[in-house]
């Protein structure tokens, strides 16, 4: 079972934060099996053809089990929801005259891997996400600056509730730690568990030794696609940091890990789930880990210890993982289609309180992304 907070690993300040329950050059480091280098001289970058070609390009260290997205994809979003996504809040019916426009993604931003960030495996045993990946800066990023968009599957925010009360995203049939609220009122969230961009690797600052987050998720307007979305920004400078910024030390230094706050609710829910799983494990004699980072983890012990989950990543469910080699948009959309007949008990409302509101529709399918059609 999820609650509103647990769906949020951050909040953008407009009540539309991170949901459920975390122009291109490649740098050094290990390369994922699916990696291809980014050609900065690719004249098609930014064009529709460029988007299509960049779907084939992944950043260094991108895990082969996760599909890289240069634009979002859509699952089960209604035409009305799409319309809402393509409307600035200030233009919404009933919006007050003082509603500010959303901050904009730089219109010249290229589609594909960002030169501002690098994905690295975390090998420091003191880091609570040791054995997983994290996102690091490739250069100094000024306070308040835009870092990158958060891409994933735009889906209905509703969650189904499984036998043990755990929440499950309807669109991918299991809970996700990469699912961010985009618009709670419109019931749209963006999940990067199975496919996404570099932003999906941003860890929470808790337990890392850093006193606070250095970045945040914010709702944005993407003028390239005429659509709302989520993005990551360097935290704006506080008065104290502003003074430092004058001497050039504000923002995030080159090589530092980008860290956000997932929100207290995210971690409270994780603890609750860990307790429940331990209870289930005790009663059945086995433990399971249903964490959302199964696809990426390169070492499981540290994760399990930190999160208090006495489980092993190797026991993760793999049956409904999509194949990892789709490259073209058609393949991408094809392999992500969900036409399965899902059997669920009930659906929670978007506040997450356990409440039967609807039976899950039997067929969900991905809509073609307008940028690709
Ligand atoms: C959005 S993902 C972040 C990327 C993830 N490290 C990966 O390699 O895919 C969220 C997951 O990362 C892990 N994580 C992030 N921040 C953490 C922290 N401060 N302590 C422990 N685990 C963390 C948790 O497993 C969480 O479910």
What's the token pair of residue 372?
A: 């690709």
Give the pLDDT score at 52: 60
Per mean pLDDT, which of 143-147, 340-344, 354-358 is the most reliable?
143-147
Q: Which of 18, 130, 150, 203 most suits a substitution to test ligand 1, by most atoms within 8 Å of the C-beta?
A: 203
Minimum CA distance residue for ligand 1 atom 13:
129
Query: pLDDT higher for 104 or 288?
Result: 104
What's the token pair of residue 307?
A: 């999160």
Distance, C-alpha 213 to centroid of its chain: 17
For residue 94, what pLDDT band results from cuts at 50, 70 and 90? Answer: confident
Query: pLDDT higher for 356 or 161?
Result: 161
Q: How far does residue 301's CA lie from ligand 1's centre (Å)?
A: 13
Give the pLDDT score at 39: 37
pLDDT of residue 1 exceeding 70: no
Distance, C-alpha 204 to centroid of its chain: 12
Minimum CA distance residue for ligand 1 atom 4:
201
**Cβ neighbours for 259, distance < 8 A, ≥ 6 positions apart:** 202, 203, 204, 205, 208, 210, 213, 214, 215
Q: Which of 7, 20, 22 most suits a substitution to test ligand 1, by most atoms within 8 Å of the C-beta?
A: 22
Give the pLDDT score at 55: 55
Minimum CA distance residue for ligand 1 atom 1:
22
Q: Which of 17, 21, 132 most suits a substitution to test ligand 1, by most atoms within 8 Å of the C-beta?
A: 132
Q: Which domains does the chain have, with CATH numbers?
A: 4-372 (2.170.270.10)
pLDDT of residue 243 exceeding 80: no
**Cβ neighbours for 96, distance < 8 A, ≥ 6 positions apart:** none
**What is the distance between the alpha carbons of residues 145 and 49, in angstroms, rounded to a whole number?**
28
Give the pLDDT score at 169: 59
Ligand 1 atom nearest to 205, measured from its CA: 19
* Mean pLDDT, residues 348-364: 24
Query: Are the C-beta atoms of 222 and 82 separated by less than 8 Å?
Result: no
pLDDT digits 0-9 by tens, 174-196:
578 899 989 988 889 999 999 99
Query: Are the C-beta atoms of 15 and 197 separated by less than 8 Å?
Result: no
Ligand 1 atom nearest to 297, measured from its CA: 8
Q: pLDDT over 70 for what percent of the chain?
A: 53
**Cβ neighbours for 26, distance < 8 A, ≥ 6 positions apart:** 35, 37, 38, 59, 60, 113
Ligand 1 atom nearest to 9, measured from its CA: 1
**What is the distance between the alpha carbons of residues 130 and 125, in angstroms, rounded to a whole number?**
6
Give the pLDDT score at 278: 81
Q: CB within 6 Å of ligand 1 — which residues?
A: 22, 128-129, 132-134, 177-178, 200-201, 203-204, 206-208, 291-293, 296, 303, 306
Q: How far does residue 257's CA lie from ligand 1's centre (Å)?
A: 13
Minimum CA distance residue for ligand 1 atom 10:
22
Strands 133-137 and 215-222, bridge-based pairing:
unpaired
Q: How far does residue 33's CA lie from ligand 1's centre (Å)?
A: 22
SS (H, E, C) the chain: CCCHHHHCCECCCCCCCECCCCCCCCCCCCCCCCCECCCCCCCCCCCHHHHHHHCCCECCCCCCCCEECCCCEEECCCHHHHHHHCCCHHHCCCCCCCCCCCCECCCCCCCCCCCCEEEEECCCCCCCCCCCEEEEECCCECCCCEEEEECCEEEECCEEECCCCCEEECCCCCCCCCEEEEECCCCEEEECCCEECHHHHCEECCCCCCCCCCEEEEEEEECCCCEEEEEEEECCCCHHHHHHHHCCCCCECCCCECEECCCHHHHHHHHHHHHHHHHHHHHHCCCCCCCCCCCCCCCCHHHHHHHCCCCCHHHCCCCCCCCCCCCCHHHHHHHHCCCCCCCCCCEECCCCCCCCCCCCCCCCCEECCHHHC
pLDDT of residue 114 exceeding 60: yes
Average pLDDT of the chain is 66
In residues, how long is the chain?
A: 373
Q: How far does residue 105's CA lie from ligand 1's centre (Å)?
A: 25
Give the pLDDT score at 265: 83
Minimum CA distance residue for ligand 1 atom 12:
203
What's the token pair of residue 268?
A: 């409270």
What's the token pair of residue 244?
A: 């430092």
Lowest pLDDT segment from 82-86, 243-247, 334-338: 334-338
pLDDT of residue 82 exceeding 80: yes
**Which of these, 8, 32, 317, 270, lies nearest to 172 by C-alpha position?**
317
* Mean pLDDT, residues 66-93: 92
Residue the block writes with tokens 């219109």: 107
pLDDT digits 0-9 by tens, 21-69:
432 233 333 333 333 433 333 333 344 555 665 556 899 999 999 999 9
Lowest pLDDT segment from 6-20, 39-53, 225-239, 356-370: 356-370
Give the pLDDT score at 75: 87
What's the number of CA atoms in the CB half-sphere (13 Å) around residue 179? Answer: 32
* Mean pLDDT, residues 105-134: 96
What phi, psi does 149 have (nearest 5°)? -75, 160
């Amino acid at each position: 079972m999820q609650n509103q907070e647990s769906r949020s690993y951050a909040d953008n300040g407009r009540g539309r934060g991170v949901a459920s329950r975390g122009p291109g050059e490649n740098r050094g480091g290990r390369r994922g099996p699916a990696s291809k280098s980014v050609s900065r001289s690719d004249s098609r970058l930014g064009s529709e053809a460029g988007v299509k070609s960049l779907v084939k390009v992944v950043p260094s260290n991108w895990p082969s089990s996760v599909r890289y997205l240069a634009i979002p994809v859509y699952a089960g979003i209604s035409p009305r929801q799409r319309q809402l996504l393509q409307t600035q809040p200030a233009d919404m019916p009933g919006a007050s005259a003082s509603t500010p426009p959303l901050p904009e993604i730089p219109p010249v931003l290229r589609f594909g891997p960002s030169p501002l960030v690098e994905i690295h495996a975390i090998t420091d045993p003191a880091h609570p996400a040791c054995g997983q990946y994290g996102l690091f800066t490739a250069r100094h990023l000024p306070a308040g600056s835009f870092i990158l968009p958060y891409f994933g599957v735009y889906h209905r925010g509703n969650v189904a509730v499984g036998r043990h009360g755990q929440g499950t995203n309807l669109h991918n049939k299991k809970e996700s730690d990469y699912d961010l609220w985009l618009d709670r009122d419109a019931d749209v969230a963006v999940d990067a568990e199975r496919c996404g961009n570099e932003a999906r690797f941003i860890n929470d600052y808790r337990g890392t030794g850093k006193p606070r987050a250095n970045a945040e998720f914010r709702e944005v307007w993407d003028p390239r696609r005429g659509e709302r979305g989520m993005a990551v920004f360097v935290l704006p400078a506080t008065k104290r940091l502003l003074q430092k910024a004058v001497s050039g030390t504000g923002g995030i230094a080159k090589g530092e890990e980008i860290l956000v706050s997932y929100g207290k609710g995210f971690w409270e829910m994780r603890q609750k789930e860990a307790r429940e799983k331990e209870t289930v494990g005790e009663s059945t004699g086995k433990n399971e880990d249903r964490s959302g980072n199964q696809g990426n983890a390169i070492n499981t012990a540290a994760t399990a210890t930190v999160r208090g989950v006495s489980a092993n990543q190797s026991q993760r469910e793999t049956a409904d993982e999509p194949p990892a080699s789709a490259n073209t948009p058609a393949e991408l959309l094809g392999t992500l289609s969900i036409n399965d007949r899902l059997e669920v008990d009930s659906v929670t409302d978007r506040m997450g309180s356990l409440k039967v509101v609807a039976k899950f529709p039997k067929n969900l399918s991905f809509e073609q992304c307008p940028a690709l059609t």
